[in-house]
Amino acid sequence: MKTIPCTHRIVDAVCAALVLGGVAGVAICLTFLKQPSLFTRVITGLFALAYAGMAVAACGLWRGKQLGLHWTRLLLLAQVPLVQTPLFIYGLSAGAAVNVYVGTNFGIGFEIGSRFSWWLGFSPQNGWIIGANVVPIALFLLLHQVRIEPDPDRSGDAAHELLATPK
């Protein structure tokens, strides 16, 4: 497989989309932090941290950091599952989503923007759905081909030259 340098335009576009999606997700979460339920505020705060992590990891990838690449991949995987049961609901997307799902309802759903949905307990939804968001799967596979260049040799560094100077 061909590797892609982290400075490629496609990688830059992915980073920009994830940063914008992360910022939008944090903004959405901040509107829900006014809820009276402490449990709702805690869960919403955790989703806000996940969105902020997506934005920070994408910035790290854009700057060519190996840790940014690893965290971006990991946080993309958190956006893949789509689950809805009468007792539990989970869905997370940042930027865009193409959800493919089966269950009592089946089909394909398209979304632009950041969204999270969660529910623990008896939900107002009666059916069940199992699905996947294919956008983060595609981005994960794309980022699997990205290589991070090692830092350039620091032999020209002034401190290094001072140590190498004979006395």
pLDDT in tens, the chain (167 residues): 466 666 688 888 999 999 999 999 999 899 888 888 888 889 899 999 999 999 999 999 999 899 999 999 999 999 999 998 888 889 999 888 899 999 888 889 998 888 888 887 776 667 889 999 999 999 999 998 888 876 555 554 444 444 444 44
Instruction: Let me know if residue 162 belongs to a domain.
Output: no
pLDDT of residue 141: 92
Instruction: Let me know if residue 119 belongs to a domain.
Output: yes
Instruction: Let me know if residue 115 belongs to a domain.
Output: yes
Contact 86, 125 (CB under 8 A): yes
Instruction: Let me know if residue 167 belongs to a domain.
Output: no
Phi, psi torsion values for 88, nearest 5 degrees: -150, 135
Instruction: Let me know if residue 141 belongs to a domain.
Output: yes
The three-class DSSP label of residue 105 is coil
- Report d(CA 20, CA 54) in Å as an integer: 10
pTM above threshold 0.75: yes
Q: How many domains does the chain have?
A: 1
How many CB atoms within 10 Å of residue 25? 25
- Look up residue 51 and give its two tokens: 């969105």
**Could you tell me which residues come within 8 angstroms of residue 90 by beta carbon, excluding any fewer than 6 positions away?**
81, 82, 83, 117, 118
Burial per residue of 122-137, b for 16 or more beta-carbon CB atoms within 10 angstroms, e otherwise: ebeeeebbebbbebbb
Instruction: Let me know if residue 19 belongs to a domain.
Output: yes
Instruction: Let me know if residue 161 belongs to a domain.
Output: no
- Report d(CA 71, CA 145) in Å as an integer: 15
Instruction: Let me know if residue 159 belongs to a domain.
Output: no
Domain that holds residue 66: 4-149
- Strand stretches in 34-87, DSSP E: 81-84
**Could you tell me which residues come within 8 angstroms of residue 70 by beta carbon, excluding any fewer than 6 positions away?**
none
